[in-house]
């Protein structure tokens, strides 16, 4: 294929001779006659116009005298400069413009026979009816022209034949007919655990209709020695795609993960099977499977029981009373509540009567399911389910946080590494809440602690200046100012967006675009929203909104549900 020139030269001649044919066809309709202009199909390298002097003989049917010729798209001058050539297969078009006293300007361009989409996944055809007295274009010849244009894959010859027949029989100009389509790559499937026993639904799972599963977690599932618990299904590589130029399109391969089988669970890497080594109860936290003994305490955790430190799954029938601590290696179920106490679990936690008290601290590796939170601090590696209310809590989840639609969040911090789905947020006279999605809770706590340290250092500096005078050359002033400058520099370097260790900037951007804060009820003005490192102070009350990042990731925008 000839390459178009980078610059657009112009040539003035006594005569421009047009070297392609056009013809007006008159088609009889029911009550009228329609005129259709058809144009000769030219090939790459074909001469479509020549420049001649006044005395040069010409046999062309159309000549334009005393004009300036400008090559339009898909044309170029010959090396000698006396001819205009087509650089692609297509249909020449002439545009004539008056240039005041300078005479006429003629632009000749070529409308492409085939247009390839920017992503090289589709090709569309433009086809004019054949000129009278000429043989119609055949499929094989058209296919060869398309091949010369670079199309090597996905060509539909049946559509080509139909376009040719329609154009010839109906004397119709065919435009934008899709004639070739590439194949999209098929992403590989991630590795997964296929459970061979019924473990029940996982609370917080987003269902196919967009609703969230709020079923109570099934806990303390008994397994016997040698029982097959789950099988790891390996990741698949997927299938590459192909664009219409015949080039492969790489596919995303499925992601693998490492299975962790601990306590009395064993994993066979060759077969992918996870079995119980001893009888016990099952605990599943992400890709970690545990089989442990079960410790059952029928009543409260109080002075009669003391603190609980167990390498087992723990089932507490009552409440954990103020000042006491429960530390469970497996899943933990508390039939009562937790009041000003400490709860630690390397499994999942289900609390049936809620959590309260400023002194209450919960640190959970897996998921947490609670009816309400009042002034407590909860950190979970997985999903947190809040069924009724969160009142001035400090709640951090590595995964999602889901509240039922009739629930309320009043004040405090509700922060998820994944997404937030809430009922109602705030009230007329409550301290505004901070809601965050796509935010790393550990990084936020580090940010918060450093910010507090900066404030304390600034207060200390101010007290020293009041005592010793505002002399910037005093030793303490110089050293403390340097410390503050370094601390502020560290503060601004903290990235609060949830990210994986090997994330590229593109992967991080894709993840942030998927993070949302969904409020099914009302959210009050003054609420501070955060997605990753972007914040927004809500200025007006809103209802039924989904907050997400703008396309440029610079602003949080509300969308209707």
For the question of whether the overall pTM of this predicted structure is more than 0.95, the answer is no
Averaged over 460-476, what is the pLDDT? 72
70 contacts 11 by C-beta, under 8 angstroms? no
At 289 the pLDDT is: 94
- Could you tell me the residue range of the domain that residue 530 belongs to? 339-443+500-560
pLDDT over 60 (residue 411): yes
Percentage of the chain with pLDDT > 90? 66
Reported confidence tier of residue 28, pLDDT bands at 50, 70, 90: low
Is 295 part of a structural domain of the chain? no
What are the Cα distances from residue 526, in Å, to 108, 337, 410, 428, 541? 62, 31, 12, 10, 8
Alpha helices (H) in 438-556, listed in sequence order: 441-468, 475-493, 505-513
At 278 the pLDDT is: 94
Render pLDDT for 123-166 as a digit per residue (tens, 0 to 9). 999 999 999 888 899 999 999 999 999 999 999 999 999 999 99
Cα 196–Cα 279–Cα 202 angle in degrees, nearest 5? 40
Render pLDDT for 363-381 as a digit per residue (tens, 0 to 9). 999 999 999 999 999 999 9
pLDDT over 80 (residue 457): yes
333 contacts 220 by C-beta, under 8 angstroms? yes
Same domain assignment for residues 389 and 471: no
Averaged over 49-61, what is the pLDDT? 61
Same domain assignment for residues 533 and 431: yes
Q: Which of 181, 205, 229 corresponds to the end of one domain?
A: 181
Render pLDDT for 309-336 as a digit per residue (tens, 0 to 9). 998 999 999 999 999 999 999 999 999 9
Same domain assignment for residues 429 and 466: no
At 58 the pLDDT is: 44
At 118 the pLDDT is: 95
Is 317 part of a structural domain of the chain? no
Tokens encoding 451: 């910010």
Q: Could you tell me the CATH number of the domain that includes residue 172?
A: 2.40.50.100
Q: Which of 239, 255, 285 corresponds to the end of one domain?
A: 285
What are the Cα distances from residue 65, in Å, to 54, 101, 302, 524, 561? 8, 15, 107, 75, 65
Reported confidence tier of residue 9, pLDDT bands at 50, 70, 90: low
Q: Which of 181, 209, 234 corresponds to the end of one domain?
A: 181
Averaged over 426-445, what is the pLDDT? 91
Same domain assignment for residues 423 and 536: yes
Same domain assignment for residues 424 and 532: yes
Is 95 part of a structural domain of the chain? yes
More confident of the two residues 281 and 494: 281
CA 452 from chain center: how many Å? 35
At 491 the pLDDT is: 83
Same domain assignment for residues 484 and 382: no
Q: How far apart are CA 9 and CA 28, in angstroms?
A: 43
Q: Which residues pair with 338 in a beta bridge?
A: 320, 355
Is 320 part of a structural domain of the chain? no
Same domain assignment for residues 408 and 459: no
Q: Which residues pair with 420 in a beta bridge?
A: 401, 517
Pairing of strands 408-410, 420-422: unpaired
496 contacts 533 by C-beta, under 8 angstroms? yes
User: Looking at the 3D structure of the chain, how many domains does it have?
Assistant: 4
More confident of the two residues 180 and 460: 180
Reported confidence tier of residue 215, pLDDT bands at 50, 70, 90: confident
Q: Which residues pair with 76 in a beta bridge?
A: 85
At 342 the pLDDT is: 96
More confident of the two residues 425 and 447: 425
At 229 the pLDDT is: 95
Alpha helices (H) in 285-395, listed in sequence order: none
Reported confidence tier of residue 5, pLDDT bands at 50, 70, 90: very low
At 1 the pLDDT is: 34
Same domain assignment for residues 527 and 549: yes
């Amino acid at each position: 294929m000839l390459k178009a020139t980078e610059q657009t030269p112009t040539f003035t001649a006594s005569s421009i001779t047009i070297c392609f044919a056009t013809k007006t066809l008159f088609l009889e309709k029911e009550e009228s006659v329609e005129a259709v202009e058809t144009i000769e199909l030219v090939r790459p390298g074909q001469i479509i116009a020549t420049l001649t002097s006044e005395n040069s003989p010409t046999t062309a049917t159309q000549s334009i005298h005393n004009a300036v010729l400008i090559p339009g798209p898909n044309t170029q001058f010959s090396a000698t400069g006396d001819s205009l050539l087509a650089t692609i297969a297509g249909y020449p078009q002439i545009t004539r413009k008056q240039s005041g006293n300078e005479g006429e300007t003629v632009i000749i361009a070529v409308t492409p026979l085939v247009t390839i989409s920017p992503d090289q996944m589709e090709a569309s055809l433009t086809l004019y009816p054949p000129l009278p007295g000429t043989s119609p274009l055949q499929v094989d010849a058209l296919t060869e022209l398309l091949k010369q244009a670079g199309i090597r894959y996905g060509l539909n010859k049946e559509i080509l034949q139909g376009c040719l027949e329609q154009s010839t029989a109906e004397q119709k100009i065919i435009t934008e007919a899709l004639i070739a389509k590439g194949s999209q790559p098929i992403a590989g499937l991630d590795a997964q655990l296929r459970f061979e026993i019924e473990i029940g639904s996982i609370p917080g799972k987003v269902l196919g209709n967009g609703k969230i599963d709020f079923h109570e977690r099934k806990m303390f599932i008994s397994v016997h020695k040698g029982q097959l618990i789950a099988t790891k299904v390996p990741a698949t590589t997927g299938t590459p795609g192909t664009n219409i130029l015949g080039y492969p399109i790489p596919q995303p391969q499925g992601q693998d993960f490492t299975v962790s089988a601990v306590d009395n669970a064993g994993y066979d890497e060759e077969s992918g099977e996870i079995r119980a080594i001893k009888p016990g109860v099952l605990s599943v936290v992400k890709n970690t499977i545990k089989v442990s003994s079960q410790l059952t305490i029928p009543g409260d955790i109080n002075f009669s029981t003391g603190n609980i430190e167990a390498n087992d799954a723990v089932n507490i029938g009552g409440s954990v009373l103020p000042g006491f601590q429960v530390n469970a290696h497996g899943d933990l179920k508390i039939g009562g509540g937790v009041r000003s106490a400490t709860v630690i679990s390397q499994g999942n936690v289900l609390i049936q009567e809620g959590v309260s008290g400023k002194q209450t601290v919960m640190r959970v590796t897996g998921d947490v399911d609670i009816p309400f939170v009042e002034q407590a601090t909860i950190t979970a590696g997985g999903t947190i389910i809040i069924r009724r209310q969160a009142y001035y809590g400090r709640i951090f989840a590595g995964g999602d946080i889901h509240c039922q639609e009739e629930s309320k969040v009043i004040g405090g911090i509700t922060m998820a590494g994944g997404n937030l789905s809430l009922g109602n947020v705030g009230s007329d006279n409550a301290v505004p809440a901070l809601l965050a999605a796509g935010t790393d809770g550990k990084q936020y706590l580090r940010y918060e602690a450093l910010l507090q340290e900066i404030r304390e250092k600034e207060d200390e500096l101010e007290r020293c200046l009041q005592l010793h005078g505002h002399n910037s050359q005093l030793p303490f002033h110089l050293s403390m100012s340097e410390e503050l400058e370094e601390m502020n520099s560290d503060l601004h370097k903290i990235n609060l967006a949830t990210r994986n260790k090997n994330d590229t900037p593109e992967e991080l951007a894709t993840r942030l675009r998927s993070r949302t804060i969904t409020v099914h009820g009302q959210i009050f003005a003054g609420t501070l929203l955060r997605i990753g490192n972007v914040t927004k102070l809500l200025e007006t009350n809103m209802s039924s909104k989904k907050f997400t990042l703008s396309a440029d990731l610079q602003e949080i925008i509300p969308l209707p549900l």
